[in-house]
Every structure is written in structure tokens, then in C-alpha cells.
Structure 1
Amino acid sequence: MAEIPTFQLHSELDTNNNNRIDPAEREQYLNRFLTTWRDNIQLRAGEIDLLVEPTAPSLTFEPGQGGLETLRIEINAIAALPEQNGPWQVDYRDNNYAERIGWQEIVVEPASGIRLLDSSAPTTDISDALRHYPDDLLQSPPTADHAAFRFELGAAPVSIPASSPSSVPSPAASPSNDPFAALITIPALGPGALLLALLAAFGWGAAHALTPGHGKTIVAAYLIGSRGTVQQAVFLGLATTLTHTTGVFLLGLLTLFASRYIVPEQLYPWLGVLSGLLVVSIGLSLFRHRLAGGLFGQNTPHQHHHHADHGHHHPHDHQHDHHHHHYHDHAHDHDHGHSHVPNTTITWRNLLALGISGGLIPCPSALVVMLSAIALQRVGFGLLLVIAFSLGLAGVLTIIGVVWVQAASLFEQFSQNNHRLKAFIGHGRWFQVLPAASALFITLVGLGVTIQALTQTSLFNG
């Protein structure tokens, strides 16, 4: 078990409430676990159900992130096969922790004197028996709970090709080497050490924001399509910071005080669903507003009709070198310097919803830091680290938003001064359809996030 479920399980194991797990408490829990484990293991040889007998079980605690521990249970088990001359066809299914999200790997490795003829599972272990995990699979870990294989007695084991590319070993990283989570264990906290720790947390938050997810594409599409400003991009970053910090703190409290009712890995997918639905609502709101104003700007008040008389209803000889005595001011050049992007109103409500969506799913490392801070009685320091981490994460989103806002503005200005580019994009027609296109894009991305999160919930995995 990883750090968070081990943290939750600690109170269940510590039956005498002395804040440590005694050998008798380990054995008591292990015996209960073995009963449940055996009931959830199905092993069949052909049409015959096999009885699985666990042998030499062990329960150990190993160092994890942020000074927390991980729990490891190892079980050797045997089962008697029916007597027959031909090959054995075996089906194995593990229904333990079916409701939990995590790394589930099954490996079929032939022992000495066994010839493996066929297997649906790989023969190569890629996680060192759940000790080290490949970096490239952490975002989408294997979820194997079933294997079918066929074997016979032979002189020596025969390896078969791996059933999937995921069985190929790749460089692995220990889950206990998270530099951000390690900050909470710094022993001395003078002013200099505190400042360095906060700067490091800020840097790790910024680096984390550059990994896939966190709504960077959505932020860019929203600010460009809605003609956002630098101030609005900054507000978006602050909303993300506040949401992420609050989410980590609240989820930490739920993990601490409601561990029997709420499991973080079950809650994460539903937070993803909520985040995706927020994005969908923002996209639909923008698209509806754009349709109300005319998809190509034909109903917007920014429309110009370049007739020769410019629609003036006051007498003058229309010479361009005299002074007009009327209360408006524009040049009579037909290349007006106005924007061709329709004036799509950007609302603070949508900005806040987008910020909440970006920070709604707490980073697991930040949650580990918060739980470590509680366990080590360093809540103030842990909260500062989480705030610095959230600021780094939101800072990257803010910078991305500002860059895209400025880039869109510069591109629009450049296109107005470049006749060839203006002709290529249809004299502003491309800019006029941009808000509707970005709104539709945001909606589709939100739907994708929602569907992906739903597939990880108990509705599909229960």
C-alpha cells in the first residue's frame, strides 16, 4: 500500500492506541487480511476450482515519501493440481481491492521443470515486485486482475514473448524519492532553510504544472477566444492557487478524520468528473453567448459599412484636410485599426470556475506533504509548503495565459498591417469565428476530461 492508504490504515492496526504497530497487532491484522484475500482469489484448472493455501505470509512497513510509511504484504500460496497427462489450462483472477485505484500487475513465470506453452500475462516483472515503478507508466498503471495460461511438465522453463509492450522493462524510479515530499522532513528550520524550502516547493509546483493536465490548453483557448487581459490571467492563477491549497488541506482532513468512509483514490476520479463538467459548462456558456451575438459577428455592434459618405448626417464638403465640428473622431482611411475579433464578454464567474477547475484535483505529492505534516506535528510548515507549491503551479498557468493573450494581440495587430496575411485570413473573418471555435474546443476538452474521469470511478470499476 502507498503512503496515503497506509496512513489511513494505521489507526485500524493500532488497536491499543500506543501510536505504534506491535508484532501482535501485525499478526492479528494479517490473519484477517488472509481470510479476505483467499476469498477473493479464484483459481481454476479447466473446469475444476482449486483451493489456494497461503504460506509464509509477512507484513512489513517500509519508508515512503515525506517521512510516511508504506505497507507491504507478501504471500506465497500453493494449490494442488488435478492429475492428468496433458497440458493444464489455468485461469487466475484476483478480486482483492477491486474498488481501489492503483498498480495491479500479474506475471506468469514458469518454475524449474515447467514448460509454459501460452499465457495472457507477461513473463517479465516491470516493477520489481511492486518496489519500483517505471516513470512512463505512473500516469496509466497496469490494472491486470486476470490471467489465463497453459503449461506442461518439461525439462526446463521456456519463456514466451511478452503479451504487451508494457512487459518490457524500463528505467524505474522509487516512489519514495519525491523531492517535494522530502522537504517536510528537513530537520532544522532557520530563516534561510525555510526560504530555500519554500523556493524549492515553488519550483516543484511550477515543474508539476508543466506535466500533462492542469488545464493549460483550456486556459489558453479561453483567454484567446474571449480576448482576456493580463489582469484576468493573474486572477485565474490566484483562483487556481486558492482552490488547490484548500483542496489539499480539506482532503488531508478527510483522510485523517473520515478514513473509514472516504478513500482518496476513490474521490480523485469524482473530482475529475466535477472539473470536467465545470469546463463543459464554461464552454457551453461561451458558445451560447457567441451564438447570441452572431457566429461571424453579423449581429454585433462592431460591424462597419464602408460607404463613400461614411453615413454622416451633417453638412460638410468631405475634404480630408478640414476640421469637423462634431462629437466623434475617426480617420477616413478605409484601413481602420479596429479589432476584427468580436467583443466576447469575459465574466469573472467563468474565470473563477476555470480557476477552480484547474486546481480542483490536489496533487498526490502535496497531499502526502500535508499528511506528513500532520503526522510529524509540523502543520504550519506543511501548509506553507503546499501554498508555495500551489503558487508555483498557478504561476505557470498565469504565465501561459499572459503569453497567449499577448501573442494573440500581437498577431492580430500584425495581420492588420500585412495585406497579404489579411487576405489569407479573410479580412478578419478568421478572427471573428475564433471565439466560437475556442468555445467549442473548450467544451470538447471538458467532455473528454469528464469521460476519462468517469471510466476511473466505481461506476465502471466497481
Structure 2
Amino acid sequence: MVIVTLLGLSALFYLAGGGMDQITQWAQTAQRGFQDQMALGLRALRAGDPGALMAFWGLCFAYGFVHAVGPGHGKFLLGAYGAGSDAPLGRMAGIGLISSLAQGASAIVLVYAGVLIFDASREALQLAGDIWLERASLIAIALIGLWLVSRATRKALHYTMAAPVTATGGGQAHGHHMHGHCETCGHRHSPDMHEVAQAKNWRDMAMLVGAIAIRPCTGALFVLILTWRMGLVWQGVVAVLVMALGTAAVTITVAATAVLAREGALGWARNLGRLRLLGPALEALAGLFILFVALNMLKIF
């Protein structure tokens, strides 16, 4: 766990020192190259070349992977949430997969609703995806950041202001005694802790997936528009889902690394007896990071 934490900190220093600009330039160059190759692959597929379909899908997977490595808010959102929340590794991996597939699905809905219902042009679809839907996604992500900061603040205040449990004359804690008395009245007055946690988990998952899925991938729009024009509809739809799996490979890795780094930090704090407020502190830092990234991508500052 300590090694993962050190690697995570090293990665942050690398990005802060200009590494993100280098990654961005490499990713953008690679994406343009893959788009050219995908266009050639579509021509080969339309011509009926043997093996062209699998080769095209392979290019789409690679494009999704490279696209996710470059600048984008999805991996930052999931990475920060994984570092700042108490979500386990399996759940974060599931959110990474579902959000990537949902992003691909949103591209499919946008393109085919646009061309079949609204008779939209390629330029109109690109404008909707690259500007309006991206802004909506970033605003939603900024709100998630604010919400995480607010939740962490409430937790910290609760931990610092909570009164100690007092004992009754019978040797039992007063809170436990009252709880046992209420359970004997024949019905429950509130959901138990497991139900509250489950509701929070589903709510968090829906917000994360929704914020990412609002903005479809540019490469998915490119593929869907070309395949629709060539009459390769189902091949294009499958290609976008394969592309989403390539994106998921990166987002899952980022989310998993964040969870492991968080567990390492919590283990270190537990050994030092400083565990109680570290959780809210990590959640607040994650929320501030998400808010900063979203506002920066919105060009607000």
C-alpha cells in the first residue's frame, strides 16, 4: 500500500511539473493517427476485405484506450472519488466500466436521434457533443465536487462535536438502551445503517455515471457518423461499444490505483492514531480537486 501511495504522489508531481502537457500532446497526435487508420479500415470493410471488421474493431479499442489516456474529466472524476470516498475496489471498477459503456451509449443515442429524428448534420452533431454536452457534463462534475466538499465538512463537524456516549445505571450505554426500547414497539422508525449505506452507494454511482455519460466521446461520434453514411450501422454500434471498453481499461486502472492509495494512507494514519479525521479530509481534497479540474476545463479561471 505504501508503494502505491508513493507512486500516486510521484504521478501527481509529474503532472504538476508539465507532464500532463506532454501526455496531452502525445494523446492528441495518436488519436489523429487512429482516426485516419479507422477511416481506411472502414473503406476496407465496405469493400469486403477479409478480416477488415475485426481489424477495425481492434483500432476502435486502441483509440478508446489512447483517448482515455489523454485529457479528459472521466478518469479525474473517478480517480478523485476513489481516493476520497470509502468505495471499495470492486465497486469503483464497476463504476469505471459502466460509465464508459454509458458514454458510448450516449454517443449512439445522440447520433441516431439526430440523423433519424431531427435530420441533423455532422457539424450540428459535433457541435452538440463537443460544446453543449461537454459543458453540461463539466457543470455536473463541478457540482459533484461541491457536494463532496459539503459532505466532508458535515462529517468533520459531526466527528468533532459528537458527545460521548454516557452509561446508565444498569451498565449499558444510554443510546443503546433507548434503541433497544424502540425496537420493542413493533415497527421501525428509520432505515437501518445498511439500508442508508446502500442508498448512498446507488446515489453516488448514478451521479458519477451520469456526469461522465452526458458527454459522448468525439471518436465515437466520428465512427458512428461515418458508418451511418456507409450503411454499416450495426458494425458502427459495436465499434463504439468496443471503443468504450478501451476507455474503461484506463478509467478502471485509475480508479483502482486511487482506491489502493487511499487504503495505504488510511493504514498509515491508523498506525499513528490519526484515522478519525483523515477520511473527511481526503474526501474534501477530492472534492476540491474535482471542482478545480471542472472549472479549469470550463475556462472559468
TM norm structure 1: 0.46
When residues 407 and 243 of structure 1 are mapped into structure 2, their CA distance, relative to the original with a 3 A threshold, is same
Q: Find 2:249's aligned residue among 373, 395, 408.
A: 395
What does residue 70 of structure 2 align with?
Answer: 211
Relative contact order, CA 8 A, sep 6+: which one is greater? 2
What does residue 246 of structure 1 align with?
Answer: 105
Identity of aligned residues (%): 24
Alignment of 1:151-300 (within 5 A): 178-187=36-45, 188=48, 194-253=53-112, 254-255=114-115, 257-259=118-120, 263-267=124-128, 268-295=130-157, 297-299=159-161
The structure where strand makes up a greater share of residues is: 1
Contact 2:152 2:280 in 1 (8 A): no
The one-letter code matched in structure 1 to 2:108 is: F
1:197-233 CA-partner distances (Å, limit 9, x unpaired): 4333222211110001133222111122111112321
Distance 1:304 1:184 in 2: 68
When residues 136 and 229 of structure 1 are mapped into structure 2, their CA distance, relative to the original with a 3 A threshold, is closer
What is the deviation of 1:243? 2.5
What is the deviation of 1:294? 3.1
RMSD after superposition: 3.8
Contact 1:248 1:362 in 2 (8 A): yes
Distance 2:25 2:227 in 1: 29
When residues 176 and 195 of structure 1 are mapped into structure 2, their CA distance, relative to the original with a 3 A threshold, is closer
What is the deviation of 1:436? 2.1
Q: Number of aligned residue pairs: give it.
A: 247
1:42-90 CA-partner distances (Å, limit 9, x unpaired): xxxxxxxxxxxxxxxxxxxxxxxxxxxxxxxxxxxxxxxxxxxxxxxxx
The one-letter code matched in structure 2 to 1:359 is: A
Contact 2:100 2:247 in 1 (8 A): yes
What does residue 448 of structure 1 align with?
Answer: 296
Contact 1:297 1:432 in 2 (8 A): no
Distance 2:296 2:228 in 1: 36
Q: Does the residue aligned with 2:160 lie in a helix, a strand or coil?
A: coil
Contact 1:244 1:360 in 2 (8 A): yes
Distance 2:292 2:58 in 1: 36
What does residue 323 of structure 1 align with?
Answer: none
What is the deviation of 1:409? 1.0
1:159-187 CA-partner distances (Å, limit 9, x unpaired): xxxxxxxxxxxx99977963344433333
What is the deviation of 1:415? 4.1
What does residue 237 of structure 2 align with?
Answer: 383
Structure 2 spans left out of the alignment, 5+ residues = 1-23, 172-196
Q: Does the residue aligned with 1:444 lie in a helix, a strand or coil?
A: helix
When residues 179 and 429 of structure 1 are mapped into structure 2, their CA distance, relative to the original with a 3 A threshold, is same
Distance 1:262 1:221 in 2: 34
The one-letter code matched in structure 2 to 1:259 is: A
The one-letter code matched in structure 1 to 2:290 is: I
Structure 1 spans left out of the alignment, 5+ residues = 1-134, 140-170, 316-342, 456-462
Largest Rg, 1 or 2: 1
When residues 394 and 174 of structure 1 are mapped into structure 2, their CA distance, relative to the original with a 3 A threshold, is closer
When residues 397 and 312 of structure 1 are mapped into structure 2, their CA distance, relative to the original with a 3 A threshold, is farther
When residues 273 and 195 of structure 1 are mapped into structure 2, their CA distance, relative to the original with a 3 A threshold, is same
Contact 1:184 1:381 in 2 (8 A): no
